[in-house]
Amino acid sequence: MGKVSALRNSSKVFSTPRRPYDKERLDQELKRCGEYGLRCKREMWRMMLVLAKIRKAARELLTLDEKDPKRIFEGEALLRRMVRYGLLTEEEQSLDYILQLTTQRFLERRLQTKVFKQGLAKSIHHARVLIRQRHIRVGKRLVNIPSFMVRTDAEKHIDFAFTSPFGQGRPGRVARKRAKAAGGGEEDEE
């Protein structure tokens, strides 16, 4: 029998806007796509759905009594996760702050944005290319997903991969070819 995981139904990871031709929203989405180097608006809609689910969980917990064990346990877990991903600061330890989160905060935590902000790439689009071409690692882990959410503790460990020509890896195909041509040209002159 084949893998069971292949037979499982999975839910959609994005939801389309209710009003597809709202001019103000379209302009704002296009601006955000350019600012954060997103491939398409679906990437933004995915972030919006993640945010909506988190806010929904926070709203449900806020309806419970403050002494309710479910609110205490799940609320603290949710806040701890938000702080770990750098979406909330240590001072913002309240469920009310979760309701004030924006998609912009989520987009700031993507690996693509972090690579550009740290100066490893010349532009936000160059950052995406470097990530997809497996030049970037987070800690010792090679990551090739631009939408990878970077935790605050892993932020300082973003660097070029060990195998990358930009890091300490061997030179790229073109560099090797040029070095060979330069080396071969000198031998002919002697």
pLDDT profile of the chain (190 residues), mean per 10 = 70 91 95 94 94 95 92 94 93 91 94 95 95 94 94 94 87 89 61
pLDDT of residue 188: 41
pLDDT of residue 8: 80
pLDDT of residue 190: 39
pLDDT of residue 185: 56
- CA dist., res. 132 & res. 144, Å (int): 5
pLDDT of residue 187: 45
Q: How would you classify residue 16: left for phi > 0, otherwise alpha for psi between -120 and 50, otherwise beta?
A: beta
- CA dist., res. 56 & res. 139, Å (int): 33
- CA dist., res. 42 & res. 45, Å (int): 5
Q: 24: helix, coil or strand? A: helix
**How far is C-alpha 55 from the chain's CA centre?**
19
User: Do residues 31 and 104 lie in contact, with contact meaning Cβ atoms separated by under 8 Å?
Assistant: no
Question: Buried b vs exposed e over 24-34: b needs ≥16 C-beta within 10 Å?
Answer: eeeeebeebbe
pLDDT of residue 154: 93
Closest CA to 125 of 43, 40, 48, 39: 39
